[in-house]
Amino acid sequence: MASPFFSKQSILFLTIVSGLVSVTTHAQKIELSGKIISSGELEGIHVINKTSYRYTTTDQNGLFIIEGKISDSLYFSSIQYMPKTIVLTAQQIKSKSITVSLSESINALDEVMVGTILTGNLNSDITNSDAERPIDFYDLGIPGYTGPRMNLAERRLFEADDGPLIIGTSVNFYKFLNMISGRTKMLKKQLKLDNDKRTIQHIKDVVGPLFFKTNELKEEKRMEFYYFCSDAPDFLQRCRGRSDVEIFQFLEGKLKDFKNASLSKN
């Protein structure tokens, strides 16, 4: 008969081994076969594993294959569908399959409230309105800004280039002097550089790791590639404030140009 000590040691050993096997199984990546269900177009839907930086798109039947493990987050995105994120479960990993239903994106008009008829005359409409508003800079007769909050570079450019050049029969001398001295041009250039840097940093930190999982480029060439992209005339238009999927598509197009340019140099 085994001693009590040996029995406890055996039980402890088996418990540890069982735990390690469980952890290994939990962390194991497998290939998942997926299918999108929807009434619309099924081809070209982006499927992104945001946890392990894997990326693929669906075929014409809405089918896709992607690597994943338990608790990975899969992100589904397409222009015609509402974006959706799901977390992989143990059952999905065990069955090596996943089915996802997407809802079509519908641009609905805001509800129209019938009330006081507006004439288009600001003073008249304010007078006829029942709403009370706080005093603002217009009431005090001073210039002001009502757009989104600006950063330092944007504020400097706004101050230097604000308002029309000709006001009635007078010249806006502050704007005129900034223009002929080159300060306005310099501030616009500085603002573009700032926007470029912030956009490049986002691409480098967020989109880049995913992009280079499926697109080959040497590590030491990647920063040069980012700046190559920033030289494109439509860089900010295509990348600033855009979704990661849209930026991904822009990078795919520029990578071929970058490689061709590198070959020309050599």
Identify whether residues 156 and 260 lie together within a single domain.
yes
The pLDDT of residue 131 is: 57
Place of tokens 């939990």: 26
The pLDDT of residue 98 is: 93
127 domain-assigned = no
Host domain of residue 219? 150-266
pTM equals 0.39
126 domain-assigned = no
Identify whether residues 263 and 158 lie together within a single domain.
yes
- Which residue, of 78, 101, 124, is where some domain finishes? 101
Identify whether residues 157 and 261 lie together within a single domain.
yes
Contact 226, 208 (CB under 8 A): yes
140 domain-assigned = no
- Per-residue model confidence as pLDDT tens for the chain (266 residues): 444 444 555 555 555 545 544 444 445 788 999 999 988 889 888 888 888 778 788 988 999 999 999 989 898 888 788 889 999 999 999 999 999 999 887 654 445 555 555 555 555 555 665 555 555 545 544 445 555 566 676 777 777 777 777 777 777 767 777 788 888 888 887 777 777 788 888 888 888 888 998 899 998 999 999 989 988 988 888 898 888 889 999 999 999 899 888 877 66
Identify whether residues 82 and 158 lie together within a single domain.
no
1 domain-assigned = no
173 domain-assigned = yes
Sequence-distant (≥ 6) Cβ neighbours of residue 55 within 8 angstroms: 46, 47, 48, 49, 66, 210, 213, 214, 248
- Which residue, of 61, 85, 101, is where some domain finishes? 101
42 domain-assigned = yes
Identify whether residues 60 and 155 lie together within a single domain.
no
Domain total for the chain? 2
The pLDDT of residue 18 is: 52
13 domain-assigned = no
Identify whether residues 94 and 154 lie together within a single domain.
no
- Which residue, of 44, 76, 101, is where some domain finishes? 101
112 domain-assigned = no
Tens-digit pLDDT profile for residues 98-136? 999 998 876 544 455 555 555 555 555 556 655 555 555
Q: What is the DSSP string of 78-127?
A: ETTEEEEEEE--HHHHHHTEEEEE-PBP--PPPPPPP-SPP-S-HHHHHH
Whichever domain contains 96, its CATH number is: 2.60.40.4130
The pLDDT of residue 16 is: 53
The pLDDT of residue 34 is: 94
What whole-number distance in Å separates Cα of residue 64 and Cα of residue 57? Answer: 6
Identify whether residues 169 and 245 lie together within a single domain.
yes
